């Protein structure tokens, strides 16, 4: 039979309008810092730009600017007026969507198809949705007819969805009348800085949004700053714990969105072809750099071999390589450090006795790459079944009864998300009540919407983002 060949379909990088250097954004204007960091394209290891690193003094300046803006302009401004700015930001994100998508793909390594179809549209949707709330806050929380903003929020975000995470943090905070100091991740600061530029373009009053690039020390300086009223953090459980310790006893509010080790549970009555698509989307979307990734596949024993066979066949068709090619399914690992972690945990998986499999694929010579990987014969005690790999690595386990599925799914220190695949509605309802996870998807996976709260239990953190619940975190 004739094979379909894909012609190359590269997106143009010109539209990213990449600059040689990017400054930090404080009090409405961009400025240089003492030190700089280099942002690298993980698919090629090419240095994309030099970016200012914010130090302690910059954190002080940004928090002071946010406080002034909160007290003098943004806090007192009627919600209907604030809404206009949020709508404007949402529309400019749409207007500059292609530029943002290309820049995100260059800086992060994710396929252009994902940044174009997921990250950027969701970032715009987050601003549109929250713009609608800005003048209706008295209806946001039942029993609290006159909610007040919390004040100045420090927000720290990771590298897996740089623009989208910035939007998830900024939009509810601004809608509720707070001002913000945001720290993007060291390896992916560029789209957050273009978002700062979009705030300028939208005439957002100076100091309402401040963006401070830098590495861990910048984040730590921000988290401990006494001028903040609230800290919101998304990232690893270890850093989340450290921030919680820093804030203990200060009276400052905190929300944490941390790691996960989600169970994706496939029953024998599930439509298996659809389930396989859901498994692939659950763990290989965004190279598995997803806190809610379905990294533990729990398959009913009677269909295990069939599911694994279908999955392997499907993985053989995934296209890995240049993230700027519109046909690419799997892009680059975000950094050399993350690649080392994925490799280490996968090697441990093999050493502990699980069976490792990857489809035949050629990895590019330069850049940070890891093939889609499936482990079978996995025991619950294996590190690949317990630790968050945060890469394209799936651990497959089996169960016989629904009760066993629940017990295994909940046997994790995390509790962010889960998936259930079955034809029976009653089983879906039963499972969703048993699973200790903030989000449970039924016959789908990795679906996000600004109206829907997202967040975890246990070591996955606390507080919700999205929907009315997400607004609560920014209202007093
Ligand atoms: P981190 O938790 O270190 O990074 C998240 C953010 O916190 C980044 O902006 C980071 O800055 C910043 N940060 C780092 N140290 C501190 C600190 N002491 N105080 C305040 N802020 C700080 O995640 P990593 O990037 O190191 O990833 C490590 C692991 O964490 C991954 O392998 C994955 O398992 C998990 N992870 C989970 C995420 C999730 O969404 N739940 C997201 C990212 C990672 P910078 O990056 O500049 O150092």
CA–CA separation, 317 and 309 (whole Å): 13
Tell me which of 182, 235, 390, 416 to substitute to probe ligand 1's pocket, judged by most ligand atoms within 8 Å of the beta carbon. 235
Give the residue whose CA is nearest to atom 24 of ligand 1. Answer: 236
d(CA 394, ligand 1 centre) in Å:
22
Atom nearest to 159 CA in ligand 1: 43
Q: What is the mean pLDDT of the chain?
A: 97
Tell me which of 158, 188, 224, 233 to substitute to probe ligand 1's pocket, judged by most ligand atoms within 8 Å of the beta carbon. 158
Q: Which uninterrupted H or E stretch holds 254?
A: strand 253-257
pLDDT digits (tens, 9 = 90+) for 18-32: 999 999 999 999 999
Q: How confident is the model at residue 144 (pLDDT cuts 50, 70, 90)?
A: confident
Residues with CB under 6 Å of ligand 1 are: 156-160, 183, 185-186, 215-216, 219-220, 223, 234-236, 239, 242-243, 258-259, 291, 338, 341, 388, 390
Q: How confident is the model at residue 342 (pLDDT cuts 50, 70, 90)?
A: very high
Give the residue whose CA is nearest to atom 32 of ligand 1. Answer: 390
Task: Tell whether the torsion through CA atoms of 194, 199, 202 and 207 is positive or negative.
Answer: negative
417: tokens are 């998300």
- Burial code of 11-42, b = ≥16 C-beta within 10 A, e = fewer? bebeebebeeebbbbbbbeeeebeebbebbbb
Rg (CA), the chain: 22
Q: How confident is the model at residue 221 (pLDDT cuts 50, 70, 90)?
A: very high
Q: Give the mean model confidence (pLDDT) for residues 166-175.
A: 98
265: tokens are 């549970």
Q: Give the mean model confidence (pLDDT) for residues 349-378.
A: 96
Q: Give the mean model confidence (pLDDT) for residues 385-389.
A: 97
Q: How confident is the model at residue 50 (pLDDT cuts 50, 70, 90)?
A: very high
**pLDDT above 70 (res 303):** yes
Strand duo 46-52 + 21-22: pairing: parallel
Q: Which residues are catalytic?
A: 257, 291
DSSP 28: T
Strand duo 417-421 + 253-257: pairing: unpaired
Give the residue whose CA is nearest to atom 46 of ligand 1. Answer: 185
For residues 173 and 474, the answer to whether their CB atoms sit within 8 Å is yes
Q: Which uninterrupted H or E stretch holds 123?
A: helix 120-133
Give the residue whose CA is nearest to atom 38 of ligand 1. Answer: 235
Q: Which long-range contacts (CB under 8 A, 24 or more apart) does 13-18 make?
A: 13/102, 13/106, 13/324, 15/98, 15/99, 15/102, 16/99, 16/102, 16/103, 16/106, 17/99, 17/103, 18/48, 18/49, 18/103, 18/106, 18/190
CA–CA separation, 256 and 454 (whole Å): 11
What is the per-residue pLDDT for 34? 85
**pLDDT above 80 (res 161):** yes
CA–CA separation, 104 and 165 (whole Å): 12
305: tokens are 């071999």
CA–CA separation, 171 and 178 (whole Å): 10
**pTM (2 d.p.):** 0.97
Q: Is 179 helix (H, G, I), strand (E, B) or coil?
A: strand
d(CA 224, ligand 1 centre) in Å:
16
CA–CA separation, 31 and 153 (whole Å): 21
Distances, alpha carbon 352 to alpha carbons 177, 283, 380, 394, 416, in Å: 52, 21, 11, 15, 26
Return the number of other C-beta atoms located less than 10 Å from residue 433's C-beta.
9
CA–CA separation, 382 and 404 (whole Å): 18
pLDDT digits (tens, 9 = 90+) for 392-427: 999 999 999 999 999 999 999 999 999 999 999 999
CA–CA separation, 408 and 266 (whole Å): 13
């Amino acid at each position: 039979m004739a094979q379909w060949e894909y012609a190359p379909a590269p997106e143009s990088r010109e539209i990213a309008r990449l600059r040689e250097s990017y400054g930090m954004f404080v009090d409405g204007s961009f400025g240089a810092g003492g030190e700089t960091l280099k942002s690298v394209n993980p698919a090629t290891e090419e240095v994309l730009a030099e970016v200012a690193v914010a130090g302690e003094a910059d954190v002080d300046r940004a928090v002071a600017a946010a406080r002034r803006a909160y007290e003098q302009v943004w806090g007192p401004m009627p919600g209907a007026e604030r809404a206009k700015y949020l709508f404007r930001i949402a529309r400019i994100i749409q207007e500059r969507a292609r530029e943002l998508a290309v820049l995100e793909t260059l800086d992060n390594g994710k396929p252009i198809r994902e940044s174009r179809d997921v990250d950027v549209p969701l970032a715009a949707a987050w601003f549109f949705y929250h713009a609608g709330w800005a003048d209706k806050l008295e209806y946001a929380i039942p029993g609290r007819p006159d909610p007040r903003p919390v004040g100045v929020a420090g927000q720290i975000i990771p590298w897996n969805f740089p623009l989208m995470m910035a939007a998830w943090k900024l939009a509810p905070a601004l809608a509720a009348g707070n001002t913000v100091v945001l720290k993007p991740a060291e390896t992916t600061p560029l789209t957050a800085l273009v978002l700062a530029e979009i705030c300028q373009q939208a005439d957002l009053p100076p100091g309402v949004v401040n963006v401070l690039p830098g590495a861990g020390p910048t984040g730590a300086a921000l988290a401990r700053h006494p001028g903040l009223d609230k800290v919101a953090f998304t990232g690893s459980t270890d850093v989340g714990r450290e921030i919680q310790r820093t804030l203990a006893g200060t009276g400052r509010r905190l929300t944490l969105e941390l790691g996960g080790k989600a169970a994706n549970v496939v029953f024998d009555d599930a439509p298996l072809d659809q389930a396989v698509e859901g498994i692939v989307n659950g763990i290989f979307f965004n190279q598995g750099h997803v806190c809610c990734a379905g990294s533990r596949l729990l398959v009913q024993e009677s269909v295990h071999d069939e599911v694994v066979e279908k999955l392997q066949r499907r993985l053989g068709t995934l296209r890995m390589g240049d993230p700027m090619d519109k046909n690419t399914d799997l892009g680059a690992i975000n950094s050399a450090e993350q690649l080392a972690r994925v490799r280490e945990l996968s090697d441990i998986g093999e050493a502990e006795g699980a069976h490792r499999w990857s489809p035949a694929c050629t990895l590019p010579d330069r850049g940070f790459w890891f093939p889609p990987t499936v482990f079978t014969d996995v025991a619950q005690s294996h590190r690949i079944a317990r630790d968050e790999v945060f890469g394209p690595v799936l651990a497959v386990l089996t169960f016989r009864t629904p009760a066993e599925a629940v017990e295994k799914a909940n046997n994790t220190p995390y509790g962010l998300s889960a998936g259930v695949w079955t034809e029976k509605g009653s089983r879906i309802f039963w499972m969703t009540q048993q699973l200790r996870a903030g989000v449970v998807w039924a016959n789908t996976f990795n679906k996000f919407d600004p109206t829907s709260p997202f967040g975890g239990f246990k070591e996955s953190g606390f507080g919700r983002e999205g929907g009315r619940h997400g607004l609560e975190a920014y209202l007093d």
